[in-house]
Amino acid sequence: MKLNSKAHPQTEADLTPMIDMTFQLIAFFMVLINFSQSEQNDNVVLPSSELAKPVDSPIEFPIIIHMTKLGSLVIGGDDFAIGGLRNRLGPEISLLKLDGKTPADATIIIRGHETVPGGRVRDLIHRCQELGFEQFALRVKEKV
């Protein structure tokens, strides 16, 4: 039996859906990378410590506060003095309440510049405690 090649035309795979999905994945991972970089600030050089160890588990409700060497605070790109902490943490507290949580359920992560005196960090913790926050984590870089 002889097959006629004209009776069976060649078919080609349509690669459009695969290319579309590839670009969607690239865009998705680019968004994730941008969110993970919000934890860092170029104005903050962390102190080093031999006692530093990695975090055991991810923090459920983190609020990251950067302390620059000049003593100003940075939350989410907003630079302000320590006196404006209550106003700046107001929206964060409101978001916690919408989720059925209290400030005590959140963890304040303090990333202080290596030249910031310990008294300023203590003052920041005290002001956060006045707002109802109870859990704190200090970030340092591991001394190798």
What tens digit of pLDDT does each residue of 14-23 get? 888 999 999 9
pLDDT of 70 strictly over 90: no
User: Chain-wide mean pLDDT for the chain?
Assistant: 83
What pLDDT score was predicted for residue 56? 76
- Rounded Cα distance between 106 and 60, Å, is 7
* Confidence grade of residue 38 (pLDDT, cut at 50, 70, 90): low
What residues contact residue 40 under an 8 Å CB cut-off, 6+ apart?
none
What pLDDT score was predicted for residue 7? 59
Tens digits of residue pLDDT in 84-127: 999 999 999 999 999 999 999 999 999 888 888 889 999 999 99
Rounded to the nearest 10 degrees, what angle do helices 85-98 and 118-130 cross at? 50
pLDDT of 35 strictly over 60: no
* Confidence grade of residue 2 (pLDDT, cut at 50, 70, 90): low
- Rounded Cα distance between 102 and 94, Å, is 9
Of residues 126 and 46, which shows the higher confidence score?
126
Among 108, 126, 105, 127, CA closest to 66? 108
